[in-house]
Structure 1
């Protein structure tokens, strides 16, 4: 099964289950982002990392040397839709840097410990976005 088909199956199971699907025991969220080149909506399942009233999107790609495709889509189109559990809301993605990024990444590691290993596997600093819920 290719990556796109695999992700689509996760998205379908997430929605059918009312947002209760987990990946290796970790809860997920879905983020819908417009494609950077096409403008078409793309849905990505990510580990759910609550961060106050917001959520984090960690562009780890398992420690791969390259950023995930959704990273570029978020930079181009930061207005997103987030689905977590049975809730759906709009948000703006903001790329974190410096101490703010360090704090957020440390928090993400407490929620999903493999992020620490992923960072060790790659020379790139793994980007972290905060998905700031619209009020």
Structure 2
């Protein structure tokens, strides 16, 4: 793994840690919204280890029982590990404002992504910037409450 990849991964872990600390220190009063988007904690099962893994993400598009998350990894050329875990096991859980719910996930089809992408970018234009940084087609993941 290159030094840039290591630094990028370390930065992502640090941001996740800070986000969790804000939630913990505030007793859950702060940190459930970032950049105008609701945040959530995604709980997946490690595709190799089988261990429960968790990461903090934002959901730029959401409705009752449905959350859309973006596997952008800040425009990195690599898919986030949480996305690879979901590919191996689409059943997961998400925690939103302290409430944990089971979800079934799937990668948006090209038609679904074509419908969702303008909504995603309208909420946060950085996603469009991330797509220009990589040749990887950034996956959009739909999480639906089970």
Does TM-score exceed 0.5, indicating one fold? yes
Instruction: Supply the distance in 1 between the matched residues of 2:96 and 2:123 (Cα, whole angstroms).
Output: 15
Counterpart among 49, 56, 59 of residue 48 in structure 1: 59
- Find the counterpart in structure 1 of residue 47 from structure 2: 36
Query: What RMSD over aligned residues (CA atoms) do the two structures have, in Å?
Result: 2.1
SS at match of 2:128: helix
Q: 1:40 to 1:83 in 2, by over 3 A?
A: same
Instruction: Supply the distance in 1 between the matched residues of 2:13 and 2:75 (Cα, whole angstroms).
Output: 19
Structure 1 stretches of at least 4 aligned residues deviating more than 4 Å after TM superposition: 22-26
* Unmatched tracts of structure 2, length 5 or more: 1-6
Residue 26 of structure 1: CA displacement?
A: 4.5
* Unmatched tracts of structure 1, length 5 or more: none
Greater C-alpha Rg: 2
| TM value normalised by structure 2 | 0.80
Instruction: Supply the distance in 2 between the matched residues of 1:19 and 1:50 (Cα, whole angstroms).
Output: 22
SS at match of 1:90: strand
TM-superposition CA deviations, 1:23-64 (whole Å, max 9, x none): 456442110001110110111111122333210120001111
Counterpart among 57, 60, 64 of residue 72 in structure 2: 60
Counterpart among 7, 19, 22 of residue 10 in structure 1: 19
- Find the counterpart in structure 1 of residue 83 from structure 2: 71
| TM value normalised by structure 1 | 0.85
